[in-house]
Structure 1
Amino acid sequence: MDIIHGSQMEYESVPFAQRTGTIAFKRLFTGPKDTPEHFLFLLARQGEFYSPLHHHNFEQFRYGYRGSLSIDPNTTLNEGELAYHPEGAFYGPQQDLGGEREVLLLQFGGASGQGYLNITETAHLQDELKQRGRIEKGKYYPNDGGKTKDAYEAMWEVHSGRPLEYPEARYSQVIIVKPENCAWVPIRGTSNVYRKHLGTFTECETKAEIIKLDAGSKFEIVARDVTQLLFVLRGEGEAQGEGIQQESAIRLRAGQELRLQASTGLEVLNFILPDLHHLLKQD
């Protein structure tokens, strides 16, 4: 088990030429690189921002932590809402003008098994692309007159040394979950502990849920065969005896369990990453 406290971290700007705007990150956790199970879990602070219509070969969740942000011209992710972005599904253009917003972002390799290229570690790929062309408003324009493509797609191809083949979308569009409309369901065998199940996605069972503990309550997050990533939305308590508070993040690796205890009321967002064991065995 690993714990990091986002409230004690500073936002850091990173080279992000593949998109237009001002953005800074608090990097919480990452997964094993160059595997189907790689992931990036972070808090992002975003000012003005623009991203063209695009899609990805990985899955992602966005949680509106503070303020609202654009998903496309007709879709806004409001504070307290959760967006699930399926592999292969188009979204955008995204455009946020003025103001500032914070979003909890989880990007991870999905059911296609293509893995994930960490967006915060692509500066060298950006530099290489700029030697061959230009990056403008999220698009890459090669000097040789070749095909214009999404800047992230171009970086992925440089990194991988092959064309990116997008998986067929299992869902046709981004799914917006409104947790405030979901009921708290008492968890059997516990006292004053509740769950909001926000969704299960794909045949690999990617899941999102919120766990609520009333003050003084205890609860054990059971061990699974996959990574679980937790983020404290509100309240204070302990995780395996270590103090946690708002913006504390916890990583449970496969086979690890977690004992939570609430000092005040405690709400924790839990992401259960997809089960990709069948893909790992094929490797």
Structure 2
Amino acid sequence: MRVSTASETGSERVGTMREGKLDQKHLLFGEDGSPNNYDLNMGYTGGGGWRTPRHRHDFDQIRYVISGRLPYSETDFLEEGWVGYFPESVHYGPQERAEGLRTLVLQAGGASGNGYLSVAQREAVNAELNKTGEFKKGLYHYTDANGVPQTVDGSQAIFERATGRKLEFATPRYTDVIAMNPQAYDWAQQGDAGVSEKWLGSFTERNLRIGFLRLDAGAVYQAGQHPSIEILFQLNGKVSAGGEKYGPETGYEFLANEGPVPVEAIEPTEFFRAVLHTF
């Protein structure tokens, strides 16, 4: 089990690849080179908002709206409390995020097994690219070896400089972002007394799972009993785990079949939950 709290995590300004101000707190990271490499972070949109062009990624993204309203196209939004699954290779945007938006974001390798380029790798390359070109409105502008001006998506430019290979996308498994309203789902008893779960969906042949977990006061959840990495993000309440006590905005990682690891609720508590693809 690994645990990280937002209150003890510093905030970082996202680089110049996109337009606007976005601060992030990176709670947990996976393992570079693993198909299940991931980044769990909290994002806050600063003054002037945050803008991206229509684009896509070669990895999965899951977003939970903590407060505000998250646009994922010119006409589509995730409302506060909603969850969105942004599958690899699926286009979304443009985005015009308003100041004050707070989101939880889980970026992870998709079902294709192409993995996920870590934040540290991307930021290092971002700095390099700024020496040879310029990021404007989510696009990277540069002049090639023949003196011809070129423009590519910012994330593509970073990927190709970091890996030394052309960015290729897996055939999309879905046609659009999947927007989910958790309030429309019912809680179901998990099996142990006082433990309830709300699964929003299972995706791809590799069984990515997204949902919520609820514990009554005194209830114990036995975590880490899945065939892949289990991620919890504490939304409220107070729990005891590994001999320590934790409150809201705490992230937990449990490796595949690491459990059972007991997480005991000191008071009623809810978590956002995801189980990553099984490879």
Instruction: Name the count of aligned residue pairs.
Output: 273
Distance 1:52 1:25 in 2: 20
Match of 1:162 among 142, 162, 165: 165
Letter in 2 for 1:136: K
Matched, 1:95 2:96: yes
Residue aligning to 1:114: 114
Residue aligning to 1:130: 130
- Taking the TM superposition and a 5 Å limit, the aligned residue runs for 1:244-263 are 244-257=246-259, 258-263=261-266
Distance 2:137 2:30 in 1: 29
Q: Is the 8 A contact 2:37 2:109 kept in 1?
A: yes
Distance 2:77 2:175 in 1: 17
Matched, 1:179 2:182: yes
- Taking the TM superposition and a 5 Å limit, the aligned residue runs for 1:4-43 are 4-14=4-14, 16-43=15-42
Which contiguous aligned blocks of 4+ residues in structure 1 show a shift greater than 3 angstroms? none
Q: Is the 8 A contact 2:11 2:24 kept in 1?
A: yes
Q: Percent sequence identity over matched residues?
A: 31
Letter in 1 for 2:180: V
| TM-score w.r.t. length of structure 1 | 0.91
Question: In the TM superposition, what whole-angstrom CA distance separates every residue of 1:39-80 from its partner, at most 9, and x where no partner exists?
Answer: 111111112100000001000101101222211111111221
Distance 1:211 1:132 in 2: 47
Matched, 1:65 2:62: no
Matched, 1:50 2:51: yes
Kindly state the Cα deviation for residue 120 of structure 1 after the two structures are TM-superposed: 5.1
Secondary structure of 1:269's match? strand
Distance 2:263 2:155 in 1: 38
Secondary structure of 1:72's match? coil
Unaligned 5+ segments in structure 1 are 277-283
Letter in 1 for 2:270: E
Match of 1:224 among 218, 226, 234: 226
| TM-score w.r.t. length of structure 2 | 0.93
Q: Is the 8 A contact 1:54 1:90 kept in 2?
A: yes
Kindly state the Cα deviation for residue 121 of structure 1 after the two structures are TM-superposed: 4.1
Residue aligning to 1:280: none
Q: Is the 8 A contact 1:11 1:45 kept in 2?
A: no
Question: In the TM superposition, what whole-angstrom CA distance separates every residue of 1:115-139 from its partner, at most 9, and x where no partner exists?
Answer: 1112454233123223332211000
